[in-house]
Amino acid sequence: MSVRRFVSATLGLALAAALALPGPAPADAAKPHRVDHWASAAKATVHPGTMMYTKGAQCTANFVYTDRTGHVYVGYAAHCAGTGEATDTDGCSTRSLPLGTKVVFTEGGSLVDGGTRLAIGRLAYSSWATMKELGTTGANACAYNDLALVRVAAKDVRKINPSVPFWGGPTGIDTDGTAAGDEVYTYGNSSIRGGLQELSPHTGTSLGDDAADHGWSHPLYTASPGIPGDSGSGFMTADGKAIGVLSTLGLAPLPASNNIGDLAKELRFAQQHSGIAGLLMTKGTEPFTAVP
In sign, the C-alpha dihedral spanning 277, 71, 120, 60 is positive
Q: Would you state the pLDDT for residue 21? A: 38
Nearest CA to 125 among 176, 206, 68, 65? 65
DSSP state at residue 32 = P
Could you tell me which of 251, 201, 207 has the C-alpha nearest to residue 230? 201
Mean pLDDT of 248-264: 70
Confidence of residue 212 (pLDDT cuts 50, 70, 90): confident
Please, which pLDDT band fits residue 80 given cuts at 50, 70 and 90?
very high
What secondary structure, in 3-state letters, does 67-111 show? CCCCCEEEEECHHHHECCCCCCCCCCCCCECCCCCEEEEEECCCC
* Residue 87: band (very low, low, confident or very high) from pLDDT cuts 50, 70, 90: confident
Return the bridge partners of 236, or none. 185, 242
Pick from 85-89, 130-134, 246-250: least confident:
246-250
Averaged pLDDT of the chain: 83
Percent of residues, the chain, with pLDDT higher than 90 = 63
Question: Could you check whether the bond before residue 292 is cis, i.e. omega within 30 degrees of 0?
Answer: no
- In this structure, what are the phi and psi dihedrals at residue 71, rounded to the nearest 5 degrees? -70, 150
Backbone angles phi, psi at 136, to 5 degrees: -60, 140
Comparing 18-22, 176-180, 213-217, the range with the smallest average pLDDT is 18-22
- What three-state secondary structure class fits 270? helix
Question: Closest Cα partner for 118 from 43, 196, 229, 194?
Answer: 43
- Going along the chain from its start, the domains and CATH numbers come out as 51-281 (2.40.10.120)
* DSSP secondary structure letter of residue 197: G
Task: Give the pLDDT band of residue 280 (cuts 50, 70, 90).
Answer: very high
Is the Cβ–Cβ distance between 218 and 206 less than 8 Å? yes
